Amino acid sequence: MELPLTKTGIVGLDQLLGGGIPVGWSTILSGEPGAGKTCLSVGFLVQGIKEYNEPGIFCSFNESKKELFLTQLAFGYDLQKYEAEKQFLLLDLSYGRALGDGQLALQQYKLDLPALTKRLKEAIDSINAKRLVIDPLTIISLLFDDIREIRYNMFRFFDVIRRFGVTSLAIAETQGEDVYSVEEFLAAGIIRLYNERSGAKRQRGIEIIKMRGVNHKRGIFPFSITNQGIIVSPDVEMPS
């Protein structure tokens, strides 16, 4: 039996992925600040709506709805329109950014992890969503004090999300190339974005570090952020 795949619809990315992301699984999208995580993940939802008739949910802890609707217009993503058409729904939990603490952020909304998953489920059901983005998932690890608790709760969270039947991209904010977070070990896949400096220049790169059950391309490939979103060049390897 073949593993069903969700096509991201992002130019060049499905070729790197050997088809797409396994349906119903969670993939981590990680990278440093400004790497393009939000742009790529919104592109995943927008392509889902436009090309595959799959509604999507964006759960935002970083940018407010107003900000996100505005910043994503730069890539041609008219989220307000998809919201009006009930193809897109944004859960705006952006208060956390100001506090920098998961506990306080969620308390502000009277949410704990079970309450958050309930909110997500309601949102998914309300528009029959097939795709989900959590930006960033990192905030959930701030809810817990020790690594065992983080691992246990992340595991449970992934398990619950999986039962919702949505294919999800969960964003992880990384602090360096070879540092991996707990969620990256637990997730079925990892897509890493780089913004590498060489002298005075920077080059954007993307790598599929793992994707369980999928024969994906290995290595870092260049991509650019354009006014039509992300464009990956799957046939050119980055110069080493």
Residue 35 interaction partner, one of Mg ion, ligand ATP, none, beta carbon < 5-8 Å per kind: ligand ATP
31 binds ligand ATP (CB under 6 A): yes
Of the ranges 38-46, 147-155, 158-166, 188-196, which one interacts with Mg ion (CB under 5 A)? 38-46
- For ligand ATP, the binding residue among 3, 70, 73, 74 (CB under 6 A) is 74
- CB 3 to ligand ATP: min, Å: 28
18 binds, among ligand ATP, Mg ion, none (CB under 5 to 8 A by kind): none
How far apart, in whole angstroms, are the C-alpha atoms of residue 48 and residue 40? 12
Ordered alpha helix ranges (H), 134-221: 138-141, 147-163, 182-186
Out of 27, 38, 138, 167, name the contact with Mg ion by CB under 5 A.
Answer: 38
By CB under 6 A, tell whether 38 contacts ligand ATP: yes
Contact letters (x/-) for ligand ATP, 41-70, by CB under 6 A?
---------------------x--------
Site for ligand ATP in 171-210 (CB under 6 A): 173
In the list 35, 129, 137, 142, the residue contacting ligand ATP (rule: CB under 6 A) is 35
Q: Which pairing describes strands 220-226 and 229-232: parallel, antiparallel, or unpaired?
A: antiparallel
CA distance 32 to 24: 26
Phi, psi (degrees; rounded to nearest 5) at 107? -55, -35
Which one of residues 4, 226, 235, 236 is an interface residue with ligand ATP (CB under 6 A)? 226
Q: How far apart are CA 103 and CA 96, in angstroms?
A: 9
In whole angstroms, the minimum distance from the beta carbon of 177 to ligand ATP comes to 15
DSSP track, 172-189: EE-SSTT---HHHHHSSE
- For residue 33, is the peptide bond before it cis, meaning its omega torsion is within 30 degrees of 0? no
- DSSP per residue, 56-86: EEEEESSS-HHHHHHHHHTTT--HHHHHHTT
What is the contact surface with ligand ATP in residues (CB under 6 A)? 31, 33-39, 62, 74, 173, 225-227
